[in-house]
């Protein structure tokens, strides 16, 4: 659950870091995923997490859609029940991600043109960590970064980047969220110019993911009504009778404001 490496893809960023096509599921479950932002309506999606796939049910432009990410098949599928069509994206077989094969003994495995060297074991913010030096070669130049990786959760407690950015994680204690026992963590990112950004995450040790995240500016992402249990395999299959489409229907594309004269 590397906080500083998360991306946002229909709530899945709240769960799995690195590539959207590569993730590791500790426990199968279902939940309601919720995103809140200032001056915007609350956004919700039903989520079903299986061993090799994640299904989200939400709406785009008020039209119900389903997205299925399958790490085993390396596919992303969008189902549109309105027309019984689906769009499919298959991952480039030559693409490599550090999330494909998590390896605590080689944390830079899978990172392009990057090697890493273990420098030792240190205690940072009361956490036992392994200190690693990453060296990345880009356009003939070498860039070094330092990473102190937690030996229990395998997430970076402290990172120094070549551009001067520093990230730091601190565990604030244990807290129960929606009936689930979590660890509360704060992250501070400091850029070279002194600008700082903070966030807070609640990490669920059983699920091995963050089930709530609060970002600066009042942005909140969380999983509610979590129910542990094996998920029906049919949830992650393309239903019979659906036909493949080549492009997103116009009614699902981002709506652009009208352009007036002279604009």
**Cα atoms in the 13 Å half-sphere on the side-chain side of 175:** 15
Average pLDDT over residues 221-250: 94
Stretch among 11-20, 114-123, 181-190 having the lowest mean pLDDT: 11-20
The percent of residues in the chain predicted with pLDDT above 70, rounded, is 83
- Look at residue 262 in the predicted model and tell me its pLDDT: 47
Does 253 have pLDDT greater than 90? no
Averaged pLDDT score across all residues of the chain: 84
Q: State the DSSP code for 198.
A: E
Average pLDDT over residues 29-46: 91
pLDDT band at 92, cuts 50/70/90? Answer: low
- Look at residue 258 in the predicted model and tell me its pLDDT: 45
The percent of residues in the chain predicted with pLDDT above 90, rounded, is 60
Token look-up 């003939």 returns 140
More confident residue, 129 or 15: 129
pTM, rounded to two decimals: 0.79
pLDDT band at 251, cuts 50/70/90? Answer: confident
pLDDT tens digits along 148-196: 999 998 889 999 999 999 999 999 999 999 999 999 999 999 999 999 9
Closest CA to 224 of 253, 204, 240: 204
What is the length of the chain?
A: 263
Q: Which residues does 40 contact at the CB level (< 8 Å), separation at least 6?
A: none
pLDDT band at 112, cuts 50/70/90? Answer: confident
Does 204 have pLDDT greater than 80? yes
pLDDT band at 40, cuts 50/70/90? Answer: confident
Closest CA to 146 of 171, 125, 127, 168: 168
Does 20 have pLDDT greater than 80? no
Burial class of residue 190, CB neighbours in 10 A (0-12, 13-18, 19+): middle
Residues β-bridged to residue 212: 202, 222
56 and 236 in contact (C-beta within 8 Å)?
A: no
Token look-up 């004269």 returns 261
- Look at residue 263 in the predicted model and tell me its pLDDT: 47
Token look-up 């997103």 returns 248
Distance from C-alpha of 201 to C-alpha of 184, rounded to nearest angstrom: 6
153 and 161 in contact (C-beta within 8 Å)?
A: no
More confident residue, 9 or 44: 44
pLDDT band at 199, cuts 50/70/90? Answer: very high
């Amino acid at each position: 659950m590397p906080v500083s490496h998360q991306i946002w893809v229909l709530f899945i960023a709240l769960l799995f870091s690195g590539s959207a096509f590569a993730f590791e599921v500790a426990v199968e479950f279902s939940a309601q995923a919720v995103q809140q932002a200032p001056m915007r309506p609350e956004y919700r999606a039903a989520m079903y997490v299986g061993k090799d796939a994640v299904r989200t049910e939400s709406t785009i432009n008020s039209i119900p859609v389903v997205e299925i990410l399958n790490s085993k098949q390396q596919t992303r599928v969008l189902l549109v029940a309105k027309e019984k069509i689906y769009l499919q994206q298959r991952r480039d077989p030559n693409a490599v991600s550090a999330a494909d094969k998590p390896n605590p003994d080689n944390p830079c495995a899978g990172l392009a043109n990057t090697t890493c060297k273990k420098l030792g074991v240190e205690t940072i913010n009361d956490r036992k960590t392994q200190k690693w030096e990453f060296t990345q070669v880009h356009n003939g130049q070498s860039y070094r970064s330092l990473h102190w990786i937690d030996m229990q959760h395998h997430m970076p407690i402290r990172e120094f980047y070549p551009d001067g950015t520093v990230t730091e994680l601190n565990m604030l204690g244990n807290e129960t969220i929606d009936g689930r026992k979590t660890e509360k963590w704060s992250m501070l990112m400091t850029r070279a110019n002194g600008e700082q950004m903070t966030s807070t995450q609640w990490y669920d040790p059983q699920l091995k993911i963050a089930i709530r995240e609060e970002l600066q500016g009042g942005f909140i992402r969380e999983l509610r009504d979590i129910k542990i249990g094996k998920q029906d395999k049919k949830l992650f299959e393309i239903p019979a009778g659906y036909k493949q489409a080549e492009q997103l229907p116009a009614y699902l594309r981002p709506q652009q404001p009208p352009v007036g004269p002279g604009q």
